[in-house]
Amino acid sequence: MGVQLQPIRDMDTVRDITQTLSRLRGFRGERMFLMWVVGINMGMRISDMLELRIGDLRTARAYTYLPKKQAHKRGARKITIPVPVDVRRVIQARCADMADNDYLLRSRKRTPGGQQKAITRQTARDDMKEIMKVCGVRENMGCHTMRKTFGYHYYKKHKNIAILQEWFYHESPATTLIYIGVALENLEKMVRDSPFDLTDCDV
C-alpha cells in the first residue's frame, strides 16, 4: 500500500507554490500553473480536469459535469460546482489566444487527424513531480494533493462538511473528513497527551 497523500495544511506553502508556478513560462510551465490553480480552487479529480475545455471556465460562474468515476454507476448524477473569480481571471489572462474548445491541460501530441489532445493521467502525475521539484517541496505530492488541499481549507474556513461531501461525491461525512486529513488531525490532537496519569510511575 502506497503512502497516503495528505493535504497541504500550511496556507503560506500553498501561496508560495502558486507564486513560483505563476512565474514559469513555456508550454509545460503554463500548463502546470493552470493545473495547480484549477486543482486547488475547484477540488476536481484529475480524471475530470482532463476533460475541461477553456470555454468551460473562461466566463462561466459554474461548471456542471458527471464525474468519470461515477459515470458507470446506477443513479449517477451530475454535480455543479462554482468557478471561482480567480480561476476565471487566470484563464482569461493566460489563455487569451486559445479557443473555447481547446483543452485546458493540452498535450503537444495530436490525433492522426491533427486534432488537439489532452494530457494523460500519467503526464499529469509527471507534472506534479515536476511541481515538487521546481517548488522545492519535500512532502510527497500527487494529483490528489490538490483536491485534498482544496477540501481541507474549505472545511477549515466554512466548517460545512455536508456541502463538501456532496462536492466530492462521497457516501458519508466521515469519508470526507478522512479524505481531507481532518480526521487524522483530530486523532493526533486527542492522543498527543497520554490519557493516563503516569506521574507516580518510574519512567
Q: Which mean pLDDT values do the consecutive 10-residue runs of the chain (203 residues) have?
A: 77 96 96 98 96 97 92 86 96 96 95 91 97 92 95 93 92 91 65 60 59
pLDDT at residue number 201: 60
pLDDT at residue number 2: 44
pLDDT at residue number 139: 83
pTM: 0.87
Q: Is 35 left (phi over 0), alpha (psi -120 to 50) or beta?
A: alpha
For the segment(s) 11-191, the CATH number from 2.70.210.12, 1.20.80.10, 1.10.443.10, 1.10.300.10 is 1.10.443.10
Secondary structure (DSSP) of 135-193: HT--S---HHHHHHHHHHHHHHHH--HHHHHHHHT-SSHHHHHHHTTHHHHHHHHHHSS
